[in-house]
Structure 1
Amino acid sequence: MFKKIAFIHYDTQNLERALTFYRDILGLPLLVQNEEWIEFDVGGQRLALRQVDSSPSPTSGTGSAGAMIWLETPAMARALSHLDKNNINLINDLQEFSYGKMAIFEDPDGNP
């Protein structure tokens, strides 16, 4: 029935700030940009952000109704250092599991 995720979408109150974060800080390639919508390529998946007038109402403490995007990197220490240098808020410290390492951070709108 369903073949794949078409895209993942977050709302943002500041599209320019989101553009800077996802393109310049996270290094995601920009695919689409207009006055109300931007899309990025995340390893073959699309991440979309839509300009809205009010902030999302989170249901689980932070972010857009509890949704989360998981990004993979082969260089976790370097990625965390880069986020720190850009004053990106880490929600938790680096954690190690049997399947790998994980840290959660927020985008400028508080989305994890």
Structure 2
Amino acid sequence: MATGVASVWVPVDDMERAVGFYRDVLGLELTDQQPQWSELDAGGLRIGLNAREGVSQHADGGAVISFRPDDDLESEVDRLRGAGVRFTGDISDHEWGRIVPFKDSEGNDLQLYAPPKN
């Protein structure tokens, strides 16, 4: 039985660019950086940036990392757009919350998530 998520590994093409995105744009704390592997702390969840070995193909679909902004969703979208982040859709409202999809510097799917207001 799984008792929680230990870490999330994200494939990257350019380690420096990816570290810059997750650290400088998203504001996560960099805890380790090496040419082939770097780690960031996402509020207690470890995100590992794993260098592609040149043979891995980019693929649509797969895992998506959701981030909860400190501020409201619209403010965070504005902040990230100002930092050059490419959003792949608009904010969508659901009974379970609100989301907006975007890409990291390596083309991986990410999203912002805000829980429903009670």
TM bin (shorter chain):
0.7 to 0.9
Which residue of structure 1 lines up, in the alignment, with residue 88 of structure 2? 91
The Cα of 1:52 is off from its aligned counterpart by 1.9
Percent of aligned positions that are identical = 30
Q: Secondary structure at the match of 1:102?
A: strand
Question: Structure 2: how far apart are the matches of 1:40 and 1:16?
Answer: 13
TM-score, normalised via structure 1 length: 0.86
TM-superposed CA distance for 1:76, in Å, is 0.8
Gaps (5+ residues) in structure 2? 110-118
Task: Please provide the CA RMSD for this pair.
Answer: 1.4
Looking at structure 2, the residues matched to 37 and 100 of structure 1 have their Cα atoms a distance apart, in angstroms, of: 33
Spell out structure 1 runs of 4+ moving beyond 6 A.
none
Match of 2:113? none
Counterpart for residue 24 of structure 2:
24
Tell me how far apart the structure 2 counterparts of residues 43 and 95 of structure 1 sit (CA, whole Å): 25
In structure 1, what is the equivalent of residue 58 of structure 2? 57
Q: Which runs of 5+ in 1 are unaligned?
A: 61-65
Whichever structure has more strand as a proportion of its residues is 2
Deviation, 1:3, is 1.8
| TM-score of the pair, normalised by structure 2 | 0.82
Name the structure 2 match of 1:107: 104
Contact preservation (8 Å) 1:28, 1:42:
yes
What is the CA deviation profile of residues 12-34 of structure 1, one whole-angstrom value per residue up to 9, with x for unaligned ones? 11000001100000000111112
